[in-house]
Structure 1
Amino acid sequence: MGTMQRRKGGSGEREIAALVRDLTGWDVRRRIRQHEGDSDIEGVPGWCMEVKRHARATRSDVRGWWEQTNRQAAAAGLQPVLFFRCDRDEWRAVWPVSALLAIRDAQTCSGYGLTVEGSVQAWAAVASECALALEDV
């Protein structure tokens, strides 16, 4: 990966961390030292976050990024969320429909066909509700 791609990726991760921090009040930050399989962002309870910033993205790209995000989340025992943004566009979030339902079997709801795509604000509302549910347990 070239310097420009790394810089663009790091900038995207900082952008999402700030946005999620503003929306939720959580201490969200970019993970500085990343290893294969690590979440790009830390500080969001119960979620493994992957961030992608590209010039353009096809549905196939998003599906591939989702599969990567899902594998990382499964290894960490967390809910997956993918944030992506194309040049001159808004951030989008992809997360499993199971986060909205009482379904917790990761194998049942892990495929791309069982995801929700929406704004970061919509995901933050869901993540906040999930965090409240975790506190009640």
Structure 2
Amino acid sequence: MGAMQRRKGGDGEREIAALVRDLTGWDVRRRVRQHEGDSDLEGVPGWCVEVKRHARATRADVRGWWEQTVRQAASDGLLPVLFWRQDRDEWRGVWPVALLLGVQCAQTWMAYALSVEGTVEAWAAVARNINASSCPRYSVRWKVATAISDLGNPSSVEAFDRCDTRVE
């Protein structure tokens, strides 16, 4: 990756950190020293954040970024959220539809087909109300090994039906 691409990525991370900070009131900042598998932002409780800033993005690109985000989140036991933006466009967020269905199970959010895409403002409204790290309403039990094996599996909808971790 060239210096210009790294700068563009860092600028995008700072931009989305400021936006999330403004929308949630959390102390969100760019993670300066990132290692493979680290969340791009710090201060987003219970979430693993991946940020992508590209000139153009196809649906296949977004799907690949989502799969990367899910793998990173699963390894840390966090909820995945992907923020991405094309040049001269608005920021978009992708997060698990399971949050809106009242189900917390890794199998229900692994597949891109079971994700939600919306504005950063919409994600922030969900995240503030379902703070994954402190909300006692949600019983979170991640089944990481099974979930990772289901990554990209078209039968992931069947995994949703097998999930036994429900909101109490």
Q: Same fold (TM over 0.5)?
A: yes
SS of the counterpart of 1:90? coil
Number of aligned positions between the proteins = 137
Q: TM-score, normalised by structure 1?
A: 0.96
Counterpart of 1:122 in structure 2 is 122
SS of the counterpart of 2:95? strand
Any stretches of 5+ residues in structure 1 without a counterpart?
none
Counterpart of 2:101 in structure 1 is 101
Q: TM-score, normalised by structure 2?
A: 0.79
Moved more, 16-25 or 105-114: 105-114
CA distance in 2, matches of 1:14, 1:65: 19
Identity %: 74
CA distance in 2, matches of 1:70, 1:27: 23
Alpha-carbon shift at residue 135 of structure 1 (Å) = 3.8
Q: What are the superposed Cα offsets for residues 77-122 of structure 1, whole Å, 9 maximum, x if unpaired?
A: 0000000000000000000001222211112321000000000000
CA distance in 1, matches of 2:50, 2:36: 12
Q: What are the superposed Cα offsets for residues 9-45 of structure 1, whole Å, 9 maximum, x if unpaired?
A: 0000000000000000000000000000000001011
Q: Is the 8 A contact 2:79 2:132 kept in 1?
A: no
Q: CA RMSD in A?
A: 1.3
List, as ranges, runs of 4+ consecutive aligned residues in structure 1 with deviation greater than 6 Å: none
Any stretches of 5+ residues in structure 2 without a counterpart?
138-168
